[in-house]
Amino acid sequence: MQVLVYSRIFKEIDQSVIQQVFDTLHDNGITVYVYTPYLKQLYGKIKFKKEVGTFDNHLDFSIKKIDYVITLGGDGTILHAITLVRQTEVPILGINLGRLGFLASVEKKRLKEAISYIKNGMVSIDERRLLQLESNIPIFGDLNFALNDCTLLKRDTSP
């Protein structure tokens, strides 16, 4: 099994939990890739039992066989991870490092249990819809999608 660990910002307060995530993954024989910008923040702070791979962008899903993405943070971290996952349908397990999360529903005290469940295939997956947004003006670039919903804002363009 191969997983991608994704987060945006390393916080010292979460160091022991983050260490526990990597230790648990390695102890379970899971191959680990880490989102490169996050990995750079972990150097010198997290001890890796085994070498981890790097993961740069959404194109890496076509090269590396990722079974799960594990996000460390909150709902915003999951929403940001969607920009990598896109339409690959790779499931995301959100480990909540902050307050109550709607999408990041795994509490940090249950992370070992959650990792064991995904390793042993003892999970149910909530499916969410990815919406593609199109416009006659290419204002979205290649990030023209949303998770579950999008909001339209009407501006007054009259003089």
Say how far apart CA 131 and CA 147 lie, in whole Å.
6
CB count within 10 Å of CB 95 equals 27
Q: Which of 75, 126, 142, 149 is an active site residue?
A: 75
Q: Does residue 75 have an active-site annotation? A: yes
Q: What are phi and psi of 53, to 5 degrees?
A: -90, 165
* Helix ranges, the chain (H): 15-27, 36-42, 75-85, 111-119
Of 127, 93, 108, 74, the residue nearest 1 (C-alpha): 93
**Structure tokens that stand for 152 in this block:** 């339209």
Question: Which residues are marked as active site?
Answer: 75
